[in-house]
Amino acid sequence: MSVSTPLPLRHVLMALAVVAIWGSNFVVIRLGLNTFPPLMFAGLRFLLAAVPAVFLLPRPQVSWRNLAAYGACVGVGQFGLLYTAMGAHISPGLASLVIQTQVFFTIFLAMRLTHEPVQGFQWLALLFAAAGLGVIASRTDGTTTVLGLVLVLGAALSWATGNVVGKQAGRVHMLAYVVWSSLFAAPPLLLMSWLTEGPERMALALHSAGSTAWLALLWQALGNTLIGYGLWSWLLSRHAAAQIVPMALLVPVVGMSTAAWFLAEPLPAWKLMAAGLVMGGLALNLLWPLRPWRRSLA
């Protein structure tokens, strides 16, 4: 499909629903990490995403290699690193920002691996969005560490790689794809938790977990993994990455807003200005393709 073809309104709304889920999810992650160790939390998330749904949905018509690659990239790479960073090295609001460097990683990988064209207006849109991200990054208040930034950048690269792998799967049953690929994420995450976080800490977390922790885990598995990544992968299988992925730049806007509301993270005027730049870039990316359509009706 051509990059210049406008997205159907239904697909735009689907993408915005994913943005809302993912943006608010950073607060949910923080609540879960108050009880569960990071790698254990990630492993349980993908375990619940896979079981029992894997017994109800047939395996999608895609290779085991592709399923394993997606599970490793999104499960182990993206969320293993992200949860570890958010455990002690970066705040939820800032994490929601830095992880969006996946936009640039994804478009670059798509250009190199699938030869998708990126048009001039899309580079301009990304420039606006990058300016917004730069404003936020330049005004950090010491709530992060170098290790935290490196971990989240690694998570962003893993997410971008997962985007490309998911697109290569083609038009398969995307909910089944996410469920079956989770089988390749849960075991290594839980094994790494056992080896690095320790069985005693894992057992203590299970014993002390209250309703908030279990609800956070349930939302990670159902809302964020099955609904969020199912819809996201479905959209990527039908549209060019350069057209879908920039919408994720709204995630830090939602992430910072929910972190300010629920966790009392500050939201000064400069953050709102940066959010305006991000949304301006997104609007350019979405509305520019409509110009030839309007001219054709003139």
- 158, pLDDT greater than 90: yes
Is 285 within a domain?
yes
Is 197 within a domain?
yes
Is 130 within a domain?
yes
Token reading at 100: 């969006």
Rounded to 5°, angle at Cα 161 from 155 and 162: 90
SS3 68: helix
Q: Return the top range by mean pLDDT from 84-93, 120-129, 195-204, 219-228.
A: 195-204
Cα–chain center distance at 239: 17
Residues 52 and 48: their CA atoms lie apart, in Å, by: 7
| pLDDT, tens digit (0-9, with 9 covering 90-100), for 172-223 | 888 899 899 999 999 999 999 999 999 999 999 999 999 999 999 999 888 8
Is 215 within a domain?
yes
The HSE-up count of residue 138 (CA atoms within 13 Å, CB side) is 8
Parent domain of 171: 9-293
Is 298 within a domain?
no
Quick one: pLDDT at residue 141?
A: 62
| pLDDT, tens digit (0-9, with 9 covering 90-100), for 15-44 | 899 988 988 899 999 999 999 999 999 999
SS3 274: helix
Residues 77 and 71: their CA atoms lie apart, in Å, by: 9
- 293, pLDDT greater than 60: no
Question: What's the whole-model pTM score?
Answer: 0.80
The HSE-up count of residue 80 (CA atoms within 13 Å, CB side) is 24
AA letter at 34: N
Is 92 within a domain?
yes
Give me the number of domains the chain comprises.
Answer: 1
Is 84 within a domain?
yes
Is 143 within a domain?
yes
Task: Identify the H or E element spanning 261.
Answer: helix 251-263
